Structure 1
Amino acid sequence: MTPEDVLAEFREAGALLEGHFILSSGLHSGVFLQKMAIFSDPVRTERLCSVLASLIKETFGAIDIVVSPAIGGIVPGYETARHLGAKAIFVEREPGGPFTLRRGFSIPAGARAVIVEDIVTTGLSARECLASLSGEAGEVVGAACLIDRSGGRGDIGLRLASLVTLDIPAYAADALPPELAALPAVKPGSRMTSAR
């Protein structure tokens, strides 16, 4: 599957939106990727995550555990883990706190883990996920996502493999280009507290 094929999946699902959007990071953009339009379709999700699993194998080798940040990463993490023959676990936020492994999840000694995200904008969620795993005995060997919208500039602290890398500009509210400022802003995301 080529990057254009991946983008076609997003377009066909109505998941590649254009307008004026306030991202979960608080930044503004003319493009929004509504990943839940993808993840509500099990066939489309399986198709994309099987390709992501192949890319992970090619990039990082054998993987024992896929770790994803809740909530947005759970579906692609699980489906990618299924195609890798790996265990799927996730980190979640304590109320008002950082990500943490709960529910008896762990990365035991000798295990090779990869972080799987849906969309990477700034890399903050993946960085926070990685930080929460620092005390685990196993090794986190890399990270992967469906779309890296940072143009490769998202700082994760690990090598990032993505099906598509896009350079989609995002702007602070006080630095909008005139054509974006002229459109009404919409907040389609689910998290409005920190950069992602």
Structure 2
Amino acid sequence: MLDDISLLRRIAAAPSVSDVLRDFVEFDVEDVASVHDSTARLSSSVSLRVIACDGTAGRFFLVGTEAPSRPVLYASSEGDAGLIGSSLAITLATIVAMPNWHDLLGFSGGGGDLDQMRRAQAWLEKGMRRTHPDLDQLQAFLVGELELDVLEDPVLTLWQSVRATDPTETFIDEGDGGLPWGPLFGDWTIERLMRR
């Protein structure tokens, strides 16, 4: 796997890759300059470096001081935040395998129920395949271009990453009132959508 900086450079140097990342998994490195992050911090004062955003003003951060690989924290536009990968390579492998990863976290049954997440992923992936009939090709393209590992169990990888978030470490954005943000795990189960 490539280190964080090499991955970011590869993405920046290949518009075809950055376009697919932006449009397919909502990991936008090109528009990151428009994201205001100077007021975002962790309660421990560990450093954050914004590296990408999504289409809803969510932000992806590298956590900690300069190192070949650092954990990635995601802060949504809805007031929740947490770790989503132990490195940028793991994060990208996870979100490429499950472009609906953020929705999946919302259907984790409160507190991060792995079984609920597995049920939700099976249902959400069917919808993803309807809207993206080229899903397998897009995933293969990104895995090849970014030299990503194919995860054996991406749901478990995501669950473990989010669970690794230190509960005493709080994400705070002074520009958003300075209140601590909540966890990424949501309270819903997939039945909420199945009933529609």
TM-score per shorter chain, which class?
under 0.3
Question: What's the TM-score, normalizing by structure 2?
Answer: 0.26
Question: What's the TM-score, normalizing by structure 1?
Answer: 0.26
Task: Determine which structure has the larger strand proportion and give its number.
Answer: 1
Task: Determine which structure has the larger helix proportion and give its number.
Answer: 2
